Amino acid sequence: MALTEQANRKSEAGGDVAADEAPAGAATIYVCVTCRKAGEPDTEPRPGALLAEATASAAQGSGVAVRRVRCLANCTRGPSVAMRANGSWTYLFGGLDIGGAAALVEGARLLAGAADGIMPWRGRPEPLKRGLIARVPPLDFQEETP
Amino acid sequence: MALTEQANRKSEAGGDVAADEAPAGAATIYVCVTCRKAGEPDTEPRPGALLAEATASAAQGSGVAVRRVRCLANCTRGPSVAMRANGSWTYLFGGLDIGGAAALVEGARLLAGAADGIMPWRGRPEPLKRGLIARVPPLDFQEETP
């Protein structure tokens, strides 16, 4: 596991990424509004709803779109967020809190500016490193072999 | 958490899903070929590569496409697979083994046939219930509020 992650980070960090060349408006952040941390009591508003509100505020004027969604099915590792930009990979993050709102917007801008559709590891905000859940290739993805 | 999952399953199970009405060819399964179970020794071929091979075999003649991918960044809960169909939500599964190949193809057919783009819980193969990692809305997703 460690080796795979390390290799992945290395390849992401090593990419020659042209950040900020694409319009940030190409990026969308999906915030789960029903999420709470596993094992924590049920409070209203839900931590996910607060995160959505904070992210929408942080995104104002950035061109990054924020969409509320009821469930990303990452319930054991919420609060949860997905993001993608035009033609990029889709990223899923978990274990976020309201303090991660600015990190999400910065991550979305990095992703929108990445020529290869991969969010660079270098310069990626810390909550989007430790909170990485998974990533999914874009629709036009070409098969890779080891 | 339990409540959210339960509600989610209920809504999925309750959906009036027209399975098999869409062509299964609309579905694509992405199998991570570098995955192994966390904590297990590094063996070649990797369990993910074996799963990809088994899934490609199981998909023959089904119209479901299978694509190998190097890393879905779900390393702590592999072996990992993503799938989607035209306009559907994208699903991520983990903790799979080679015995899950047929379940993946069946899940992809269910997803391709779901009019609402949601994989029905009822009738979903067991490995795709216990192995659910997350799901991501489609590109044309409209915001939901609680």
Task: Write down the pLDDT at residue B8.
Answer: 41
Instruction: List pLDDT tens digits, range B117-128.
Output: 999 999 999 999
| pLDDT confidence tier of residue A91, bands split at 50, 70 and 90 | very high
**In this structure, are residues B81 and B34 in contact, taking their beta carbons and an 8 Å threshold?**
no
Contact A88, A138 (CB under 8 A): yes
B134/A82 Cβ within 8 A: yes
- Reported ipTM: the value is 0.82
pTM to 2 decimal places? 0.83
Q: Are B109 and B19 in contact (CB under 8 A)?
A: yes
Query: Phi and psi for B51 in degrees, rounded to 5?
Result: -65, -40
Task: Tell me how close the Cα of B99 comes to any Cα of chain A, in angstroms.
Answer: 21
Mean pLDDT of chain A: 85
H or E, element range at A134: strand A132-136
Task: Please tell me which of the candidates A68, A84, A146 has its beta carbon nearest to residue B144.
Answer: A68
Residues of chain B found within 8 Å of residue A49, distances taken between Cβ atoms: 146
d(CA A17, CA A31): 26
Asked whether the CA dihedral B78, A96, A31, A6 is positive or negative, the reply is: negative
pLDDT of residue A24: 61
A90:B136 CB<8 A: yes
- Residues B27-86 have pLDDT tens digits of 999 999 998 887 888 888 999 999 999 999 999 999 999 999 999 999 999 999 999 998
Contact A49 B146 (CB under 8 A): yes
